[in-house]
Amino acid sequence: MTLTLVRSKPKPKTALATTTLVIAISGPTGSTGKSSLALNLAYEFAELGKKTILVDLDTYSPSISTLLGITEPTAAITGCARLIRQGRFDREQLDRLSVRVNYRKSSFHCLTGLASTRRWGEISQDTVTHLINLCRFEFEIVILDLASHLEDQLTSPSNPVPRNTATRVALAQCDQAITVLNASQLSMSRYLAVFSELQEIQRNRLIVLNRSDPKPAISSALKTLTKETIFASIPDDQASFELSESEHLPLALARRKSPARNAIAQLTNKLLECPPLAN
């Protein structure tokens, strides 16, 4: 089975969603699988009938296009940034710049990331804030796939926008923040290295152990060093993940009964039951 990508068309105005959940997904550097998790969550929310948009705000290694099998660059996030600067970004433009991803009876919208990471300076605080605010009015679920880097005031001589603005603003403004880790000493070490920075931006986060079997030592260390507990674990189902990514499909369609897919479906329901986090 293959997915269908459709350039979104403006739709007649309808009643606004009564509640919106903005989920920011980040994690320490390394292959923690956060983008794959973001894509699968978008599908699972759509399966539950939620009007969903997935936004690639990773200004270092945007990968949602690759996971979806989109080979031609699109304006997407840079187009949104340009229109926001011009004061012309609205619902119609959001529909035009996003792609509707169709899987059988389920679909969600997607704003793909930067075609060139050299254009990261266009993703300013105003860009991220305006985009999140508009998505809140148009969707029930907004999933933001973020970069790993968090350093503040990291700038270049030619660009006044701090390098990690997109990630920092999205984390500060989201309703649910998910930190994706692997059950390894390296992943834990990298997380601890940015823990203080994360605490300054968003103190309340949910820890998801991804593509890893739970290890008591990791759970114990996490609780001792950060006072956090693991909110959910996604099993290391390598064969299913490889099949999913090679066919550009969510786990539910590549291998519906995979343990990883079941865990992500359970995570989706748990997220709907959680109250929004408070800064």
Q: What CATH superfamily classification does 20-272 receive? A: P-loop containing nucleotide triphosphate hydrolases (3.40.50.300)
For the segment 162-220, what is each residue's pLDDT rounded down to a tens digit?
A: 899 999 999 999 999 999 999 888 999 999 999 999 999 998 899 999 988 878 888 89
Tell me, what's the pLDDT at 66?
Answer: 93
- Confidence bin at 233 (pLDDT 50/70/90): very high
The answer on pLDDT for 265 being more than 60 is: yes
Tell me, what's the pLDDT at 278?
Answer: 56
For the segment 104-152, what is each residue's pLDDT rounded down to a tens digit?
A: 888 999 999 998 888 899 999 999 999 999 999 999 999 999 999 998 8
The domain segmentation of the chain, as residue ranges, is 20-272
The answer on pLDDT for 6 being more than 60 is: no
The answer on pLDDT for 32 being more than 90 is: no
- Token pair belonging to 108: 């969600």
